[in-house]
Amino acid sequence: MSLPSSIRAPALQARLAASEPIQLVDVREQGELALARLPHPVVHLPLSRSAEWLPDLEKQLSRERPVAVICHAGLRSWRFCCWLVDQQGFTDVWNLEGGIDAWSLEVDDSIPRY
Catalytic positions, written as ranges:
71
Distance between CA atoms of residues 110 and 5, nearest Å: 27
Q: Three-class SS string for 39-101?
A: CCCCEECCHHHHHHHHHHHHHHCCCCCCEEEECCCCHHHHHHHHHHHHCCCCCCEEEECCHHH
CB 75 within 8 A of CB 51: no
CB 97 within 8 A of CB 9: yes
